[in-house]
Copies of this chain bind each other. A is one copy, B any other.
């Protein structure tokens, strides 16, 4: 017959389990970030190789592939550790499902690289392949952020996720611009996509700034040299503001690529700091919770381990209340007075309030992830009702967004608003 004490301690143990799990997930996220960065570089290098029909960047590509292979091993090992632990706190099923999607993509890399080396693919398809793989890796980070059970850590993960996503948009912009300049001419469709990539990128960094730990948002701002920003904006203007069909100076291709790369490498250094900050926070929180647990256990050992001692307190508390506390009286907090300061009930109430406050805060942070979920749902709806692939669904939404000059999530919301007019057999 266990007492309230053991459940008070049990609750703390649950919290520690979750914090330790979060620490492991955060390590995984950092490892994924490094692989993503390396793949983004390989994507860019491969494009130059393909665009130059194999004349340029062959050696750089070999070096980059070697680096990617090492980082891929690290990610695979982190995945395996996760699985070895078996059950994952929170959304284990969704996290594993994302991983299951990514692994075939990693397995496809050697074949992708062979085809690129043999110049069997054009830059567009090579980019699409890398984009898809990177999206899968970032999706794992998203689930990690969505599954976090500690609000502070969740904030950091949301910031990191948005930074990674923004960095990926920047990488896609680099590829898009490099292709535009290299082709020597401007096309309306590509301009439109380019502008869309800029907007999505800025939105991500705005969310990052909102959720990043104090100091880190500033660190990112400080790393962007005004001169370089000016140069990038100038090249953007040259290519995007000019009327479609205008010829572009293909010599600018290299300048554009270098300019973007400097910015993206700066992002990577910020990302490393974000990951380190996250790691520190997890360790610190786990240590803190452990100390609390020990303090509780010591205190509880000093009290007799049954609830009899608190019976009178409970009754006093009751007697002190002259009305039914009503429906939502959970860990009811009547004023027990000094004689109860060390009582279990006080500790339980304190814990209960803390857990409640954490839950509220967590809900607020998670709301920031809803945009992405809305887009997912809108796509699911279109896929189910139009019998189209996810790419097609996403293209539809993005096209509408670009045509109407609205954000992707706004279009998604409009689509979902129509959901009830559609038959009930919809996918989401």
Contacts of A311 in B (CB 8 A): 104, 107-108, 110-111
Most chain B beta carbons < 10 A, residue from A312, A330, A349: A330
Most chain B beta carbons < 10 A, residue from A97, A322, A372: A97
Chain A 332-357 near chain B by CB (<8 Å), digits 1 or 0? 11110000000011001101110111
Beta-carbon contacts under 8 Å, A87-134 to B? 87-108, 110-112, 115, 121, 124-125, 127-129, 131-132
B318 and A132 form a contact (CB under 8 A):
yes
Shortest CB-to-CB span from A163 to chain B, Å, is: 13
Shortest CB-to-CB span from A423 to chain B, Å, is: 15
Contacts of A94 in B (CB 8 A): 11, 352, 355-356, 359
A11 and B351 form a contact (CB under 8 A):
no
Given A2-B80, A5-B100, A352-B98, decide whether A327 and B92 contact each other with a Cβ distance below 8 A.
no
A86 at interface by CB-CB < 8 Å? yes
A323 at interface by CB-CB < 8 Å? yes
Residue of B nearest to A375 (CB): B328
A328 and B376 form a contact (CB under 8 A):
yes
Contacts of A135 in B (CB 8 A): 325-330, 332
**A324 vs B395: C-alpha distance in the bound complex, in angstroms?**
9
Q: Which stretch, A33-41, A265-273, A275-283, A383-391, touches the partner chain B?
A: A383-391
Contacts of A306 in B (CB 8 A): 107
**Chain A residues with a Cβ closer than 8 Å to the other chain, count:** 122
Q: Which stretch, A12-20, A53-61, A212-220, A237-245, touches the partner chain B?
A: A12-20
A379 at interface by CB-CB < 8 Å? yes
A398 at interface by CB-CB < 8 Å? yes
Residue of B nearest to A94 (CB): B355
A101 and B324 form a contact (CB under 8 A):
no
B315 and A111 form a contact (CB under 8 A):
yes
**A379 vs B325: C-alpha distance in the bound complex, in angstroms?**
12
A103 and B307 form a contact (CB under 8 A):
yes
A351 and B97 form a contact (CB under 8 A):
yes
A310 and B352 form a contact (CB under 8 A):
no
Copies in the complex: 2
Contacts of A360 in B (CB 8 A): 373, 377, 428
B83 and A344 form a contact (CB under 8 A):
no
A427 at interface by CB-CB < 8 Å? yes
Shortest CB-to-CB span from A120 to chain B, Å, is: 10
B324 and A127 form a contact (CB under 8 A):
yes
**A129 vs B360: C-alpha distance in the bound complex, in angstroms?**
29
Shortest CB-to-CB span from A76 to chain B, Å, is: 6
8 Å CB contact of A380 from B132, B165, B357:
B357
A261 at interface by CB-CB < 8 Å? no
A391 and B76 form a contact (CB under 8 A):
no
A1 at interface by CB-CB < 8 Å? yes
B348 and A100 form a contact (CB under 8 A):
yes
New A-B pairs, 13, CB < 8 Å, besides A168-B327, A332-B390 = A8-B96, A14-B93, A17-B87, A17-B92, A90-B90, A98-B352, A112-B315, A131-B324, A132-B314, A135-B325, A136-B332, A332-B391, A334-B391
Cross-chain pairs A/B with CB under 8 angstroms, 14 sampled? A4-B101, A12-B93, A14-B92, A98-B352, A101-B345, A108-B310, A111-B315, A128-B321, A135-B328, A136-B331, A326-B394, A328-B379, A332-B391, A357-B428
Interface residues of A (CB under 8 A from B): 1-8, 10-15, 17-18, 76, 79-80, 83, 86-108, 110-112, 115, 121, 124-125, 127-129, 131-132, 135-136, 138-139, 142, 165, 168-169, 172, 200, 306-308, 310-315, 317-335, 344-345, 348-349, 351-353, 355-357, 359-360, 372-373, 375-377, 379-380, 383, 389-391, 394-395, 398, 408, 427-428
